[in-house]
Structure 1
Amino acid sequence: MLATTELIRRNPVRGGRTTAAPLSWFAVIAMACAAAGLVLVPPDARAAEPEIVARVNGEPLTQAEFQRMRANPLTVRQLQQELGVQDPGAEELDRLALRKLIQHRLVLQEARLKKISVKEKELDEAVAALRRRFGDLKGFGEWMKEQGFNDRSLFESVRGDVLADRVRAALVKDVRVTDEQVQQYYETHKEQLKTTEVRLQIIVLKDKAAAEEALTALRGGKDFATLARERSVGRRAAKGGDTGWVAYETLWPPLRKFVSRMKVGHAGGPLQNGNEFLVVRLGDRRSGRTVTLAEAKPQIEPYVLALKRQEVVRDWLADKEKKAKIEVLMGPDAKPKMSHPQSATR
């Protein structure tokens, strides 16, 4: 992590004069924190030895890092999904969160070993992208305060995330999916790879007011097929607007999205299609034919590739954990306590 003073840049002296430096991200963060009432404490004024929850190959993990992970709602949801329990206990979440923190440190140690780095410009851009998620500097500062970030820890966290992404990308760069693996997935999940078919009734009208009148009539109890024969200008008017069974995937995209939100037997609209307005009723929905391997391959291939990449990273992490010296220092008072073949608990 860059020292605070290194985040404030100056342009070279030209013609004996120093040009004004562009606003550094330290200055932006300082303003954000000031707006939220958060004071940035210089690094040398902070506690020299923060509470340590674990050591990974001799490197400390702090209570602040652990609490930040546990306080992040997105991380908590991911932990819950990984545990596969709808409402896991706090101790289970703590244990898994600590393991994730340890694994993250192993990844960062690998980045150093492989000499993977993040340039200062790239770090600034990553922080800028994070900042753009918030409406203003005050909101950004409040989020920093909630997460327990100061200027230095924020940059360290962002740098760590970028490094971790690059290590994982390097681990999986040669992973490929073969045609045999795609076929195997297809054969195993063939019963789930079916098209959806829908049966619709559609009234086509020339203006929005007429469509609104048709909807009012339907709400009043008017039969849809009768109304379609009386008012629709579409080619299926004589059939009560009935489309017959059609593949859901082949529908006009706005109509497909509209129908996806409908319940069987319900009508809605108006949906504009050029100069026409549609009133649509979903008559029924059913599973259709099984899609062919050629049709399914564009969806199967990236999914299987993602699974293989996850497996490569998971196996790599498991191997690193076995070989690492991991000391878990969180006692019963701090809740989590994690066992490991090479761990030493205090």
Structure 2
Amino acid sequence: MSRVAMKGCRTLAAACLALGAVAGPAFSQAPPTAAPAGLSESVAAVINDEVISTFDLAQRMRLLIATSGIQPTQQNLPQFQREALSGLVDERLQIQELRRVEKEQKIEIVPTDSEVDEQLTEMARENNANLQQFTNSLAAQGIGIDTLREQIRAQSGWQRWVRGRYGSRLRIGEDQVKAEMERIAAAATRPQYQIAEVFIDAARVGGMEVAVNGAAQLVSQIQQGAPFPAVARQFSASPSAATGGDVGWITAGEMPAEVDAALEQMRPGQLSQPIPVRDGVYIVYLRDRRAGASAVTVSLKQAAIALSQGAPDAEVRAASGRLTDLRGRIRGCETVETEAARVQGVVAGDLGEAELKDLSPAFRTAVEGLSPGQTSEPIRTNVGLHILTVCARGSGGPGAVSKDQIEGRIYGQQLSMIARRYMRDLRTAATIETR
């Protein structure tokens, strides 16, 4: 399928469909996804006497392929099948529970056809299409609109019911907010990471070996261009899947130790390899990182002359004299490159921001007593002579978090926990037979 940039994708994964058929002819060149090999029109699963057919399963697999950005292969089709079947089972259980509640309490919870069509119309509008064009784009990939309609009905109805039943009952106490503020303050001295995640639940997919292999395939597909948010929405078992895997800022110690160890070695913009933990496998994308609040950070520029380690003393003295003269003409970071360009053999550059403790001993000694705008004496290293100009000094760590932000975070965590327990109880009580 064509890779068409999408905007305005909802938390509902099915919203992020590539509407290349609307945007131009490139989409029409991609044939509809073939039905997965080995599936016939029969029973795939029975959920409390309600049948999920292999046609339903094939349709959901096509939808997963279309929305994840992952190219189907013989290796990853079993993974698509597992995810498709798990999603269908959960949605059938949700709809069955909603119908039961409607009957007992004489209320309406399950979205009507008109309400579902309103959501479909909005999805199409956000992607510069009308509902008919949106439907046609699905059909071009062999996907019937009904498979998306029923996914929307189950997910939005379930969210409505859980929030309506439990959301108004949740009370976030002052003691909870205070405890969270104290935890944040205590953690402020440790490094923080802004991450997105995919978590493969080993128990859900059939064991740790399956989880590790599936995660490795997802990493490969992301590296080849599959959008991380789309992959997270479709494959992650974490609550963050609803936001495309976005976790926000975390502090070292909040994630499993194996994930912390990987993050410590990563740089912003890097994607991890699969990280096995006790109950599954993580894939982590590091968006950004920052030092703890107690760390001193410096932003530096340098001017340097390349010299071998065994350069003659006379050559070293001459280079030192040129840099000392240059140092006298530098007036803050904005003049480093301009002044350095006037001295033959000198190369200047921006070293960016770093924690003072992470600098080499020679560099750290040279700049730890300098204020912004000041330049060091020449520093000898194995590769040359350097002078460093301090552009800025500061402390690491995040800004203050408001009380409302903390309350919202706690509310979301508690509601998510309730929803997971609710689904766990439904699965435990249900009769689920897969064929």
Higher relative contact order (CA 8 A, sep 6+): 1
Q: TM-score range by the shorter chain?
A: 0.3 to 0.5
**Structure 1 length as normaliser, TM-score?**
0.47
